[in-house]
Amino acid sequence: MGPLGFLPTDTGQLADALAARDLTLAGAAHVHVLAEPGSWPVLKTALDSLGPILAKLNAPNLILMDESEWYPADRPGVVDETGWKTMIAHVRDAQHHVAETYGVKLTFHPHVGTCVEREAQIDRLLDETDVDLCFDTGHHAFWDQDPIAYMRKVWDRIGFMHLKNVDAKVRARVLAGELGPNESFAAGVMCPLPDGVVDIPAVIALLKEKGYSGPCIVEQDPSEDAAETPEALAARNRIYLEGLLA
């Protein structure tokens, strides 16, 4: 759905708009400052806006992720133990609320620049909750982690997929400390699917091997100086994937 309000929130109007374009809705994503104490009422309000739309349109998938912009530039994703426990409580409460109230499945998206981005952090999240992952190949590879190896490790906890790729040169600048995580997106760290370090053909092969049947969303973050329009990038990614799936 994009950010709440990007698409119509009236379910009848949204259903008509989708049908007119021969589209169906896969789900929605919501970003929240998960380590902020006392913010459950704000999160619940958002969930109560999204939940009925997803339920009525038979798209019962809600992705929750932490807000990277909340962290100071010199301490991206850094929380103390109290902040971690607050984040875990918000994830648990959100998961149970949307499931019990709307029949919606919540998955958690580990995201660059937040308190859940490295494998040890993801491991701890999975250990301390029963939430499944929205696994993003690009965000996982951002810190030079192996997305395919980790997908195999936690396969039973993957409920949703995001396909992204990572530009090797921009990532090298991040790993060398020359570029901050947030700034790297403007520099084009998330490149088109055919162009990056993630072995997308191997990812598709693994999804086929495991019989994955859930949603698989392609996200493309254009750089500030992108030579291709978003439409052209989307078309190139689609043609590339069609070739892999054929």
**pLDDT tens digits for range 47-77:** 999 999 999 999 999 999 999 989 888 888 8
pLDDT at 74: 82
pLDDT at 106: 98
Which residue segments constitute the domains of the chain, with CATH numbers given?
1-130 (3.20.20.150), 163-246 (no CATH)
pLDDT at 21: 96
| Other Cβ atoms within 10 Å of 51 Cβ, number | 22
pLDDT at 37: 97
pLDDT at 182: 84
pLDDT at 72: 86
pLDDT at 31: 96
pLDDT at 132: 98
Spans in the chain with pLDDT lower than 50: none
pLDDT at 69: 86
**pLDDT tens digits for range 115-148:** 999 999 999 999 999 999 999 999 999 999 999 9
